[in-house]
Amino acid sequence: MTPGNPKSTAHIATHPIHPMLIPFPIAFLVGTLLSDILFSQTGDAFWATASLYLLGAGIIMALAAALAGFADFFGDRRVRALSHAWQHMIGNLVAVLLSIFNLWIRLGDPESAILSIGLPISALVVLILLFTGWRGGDLVYRHRVGIPDEGPGAL
């Protein structure tokens, strides 16, 4: 067994990249849900357009965060041995795939898509993110993934 905490493979100095990136897709995807709700309540096309842009930005940033997350997941076998890591990864993959589908259905007519299925998909994605965020927190605070070891040379 390798001593110390599971390492973050994708890092700058000793700072893991994945946690630096994840606030962006979360903010964009939660913003998508909020603008979907505002569109459903007001009917103002501005909110449908805002949702479309927020969703696109959320997907792009989620893919960037996923690259760093995959590097960490596949870079240390101890991370792969954790059920929380699998739940975090699979849940986030489902959220990204749902978001891509959500964007695809909106491309032709964003307003109709929000009212038919876009809003429920956005809500489901946010619920999934709540779960995967909880599991991601477990990885850091419970399993100490990416936390420098104590002792000489630790920051």
Domain ranges of the chain: 16-141
> Residue 150: what pLDDT?
67
pLDDT tens-digit readout, 29-45? 999 999 999 999 999 99
Least confident interval from 44-53, 66-75, 89-98, 111-120:
66-75
79: tokens are 């991370």
Residue 153: predicted pLDDT: 44
Query: Six-digit token pair at 88?
Result: 């975090």
Q: Is the pLDDT of residue 143 over 90?
A: no
Q: In the beta sheet, which residues pair with residue 12?
A: 15
Whether the pLDDT of residue 90 is over 80: the answer is yes
The angle subtended at Cα 30 by Cα 146 and Cα 106, nearest 5°, is 120
